[in-house]
Amino acid sequence: MSKDIKIKKGLTIQLKGEAEKTLSKAPRSRTFAIRPKDFHLITPKMVVKEGAKVQAGEVLFYSKSEESI
């Protein structure tokens, strides 16, 4: 059974009041993580090893069934 959630119609949620119109700055992270199980409908084949440092735009994984993905 797929773990994907499909919504056919939107929901109307009645909220009281409005959100504050303020922005706050968050510190930039230097470490990020990719979890292959978070990618539904494809079976990822990892190209890089766990803990490896990569550059922006570098290939991390591809689909086992469709290598062009």
Residue 3 has pLDDT above 80, yes or no: no
pTM metric for this prediction: 0.53
Q: Which domain covers residue 67, as residue numbers?
A: 30-69
Judge whether 12 and 28 are in contact, CB under 8 Å. Answer: no
Q: Give the span between the Cα atoms of 24 and 41, in whole angstroms.
A: 36
pLDDT at position 1 is 59
Residue 68 lies in a domain: yes
pLDDT at position 67 is 78
Residue 6 lies in a domain: no
Residue 4 lies in a domain: no
Tokens of 28: 């930039």
Please give the tally of structural domains in the chain.
1
Residue 18 lies in a domain: no
Residue 12 lies in a domain: no
pLDDT tens digit string along 6-64?
778 877 888 899 888 999 999 998 888 888 788 888 888 889 998 888 888 999 898 88
SS3 of the chain: helix, strand, coil, percent, to 5: 5, 10, 85
- For 67, phi and psi rounded to 5 degrees? -65, -15
